[in-house]
Chains A and B, each alone.
Chain A
Amino acid sequence: MKQTPKALVSLFVAIAFALPASAEKRPSHLDMARAAIETDIIPHIDAFKAAAHALPDAVENVCTSGSADARQALNKKFADAVVAYAGIDYLRFGPMAEKGRREQISFWPDPRGFVGRQLRLMLLDKNEKILAPGMLAKQSAAIQGLPALEILITDKDKPLGPGEAVQYRCKLAQAIAANLVRLADEVADGWEKPSGWKDKMLNPGPDNDTYRSAEESAVEVVKALLVGISLTADLQLKPQVDTKIRLTPPYQKAGLQKAFYGASVKSLNQLYNTLHLEAYLKPDLAWMKGWAVGTWRTIRSIDGAGGRAADAHRPDTPEVREVFDRMNGFRNIISNRLSVAAGLTVGFNELDGD
């Protein structure tokens, strides 16, 4: 029988899964942390930084010309920034956690509607002082970042442009764009500068005030992965499963809900693959590797808005409920099995206390 290339790939995958997991090279804990930082975290942060830097000019072009092309370009640049941010949304430690930067970049979820309310007040007040460089950083986190900019650029009743009536809106949009550049720069610098967070994680030891061992550095990354899976399941999928929950999806006004979900799970999948936790599994648990591949395939087969992902690899489209359940189960497997096998014990209380 002649084998098609697709069938050969399947066969290869099947053989690969049949091999004992221990055949893989086991990365050290420091290697895990290094790979995660250098392969996933910093490239994603740099991508966000680049996307943020493109915003001020794009906003200015719309405010100067008001042309359809400029609007289209701004929408594209905004989508790029949202997608890039989705790739680092799981980073709730280090420079992102300092000075409330994460909330300032992306104030979501927003079940109380703070962003819209605060923005309305600002637009009524038209206070020029807060538009001065650096002043927006002293205002509420809700109006400092991407969700506030989203409202301004998607408002069809008062679109940004050169007109007098929207002059303050334009200035505010430019201030928000500049603020996003500042935040992205601070996060990137916080990670990448000498003695920054990257160095801190990759040089653990008794004198390190945060990471005393390589295990602690690697556990930090595993915790971030678990947090990311929880956030995606609880905030993006659960409202679709439980209709009693009223929570506006991320960046829905700009039509980016699917893009946000896709970028979130793609980034988490990459981080998971980078860690190579399965290399530590004993042969009798090697099946988990195949199960994990299937789970990621399932997670990435939906678009996060009730439909099928454009790049889905599962032949059928799973129900959101199934994806939600598998994400929760997967989180438990990572926490209780895979990380334990790799000598990375993530405590029940330290992970999610109260």
Chain B
Amino acid sequence: MSQKVLIADDAAFMRMMIKDILLSNGYEIAGEANNGLKAVELYKKEKPDIVMMDITMPEMDGITAVKEIRKLDPSAKVVMCSALGQQSMVMEAIQSGAKDFIVKPFQPDRVIEALKKVLG
């Protein structure tokens, strides 16, 4: 059975890019959110297997969203995907419960590598 991914990024273009990579590698899209708040709502509704989460988003940023999602579901699997690749950001994301961190711009392989690693 295909694994379902929730994509959270405020850029439609980036969501499109990630969707293409996922679909051509056999994953299913659980949904798309354009801000952290919607990501949390969609997580509740769709219960995806994993979330690809941007950091810089309006309404609620990605790191806060990870924290909220983990409150709902302590076993939630989230992979951060952001242009902000500073050590402190990565640390904060991981401490908030993210399982991996991909820095933009990324190669498609990196995304698949991260998903395989986290989902097993």
A binds B: no
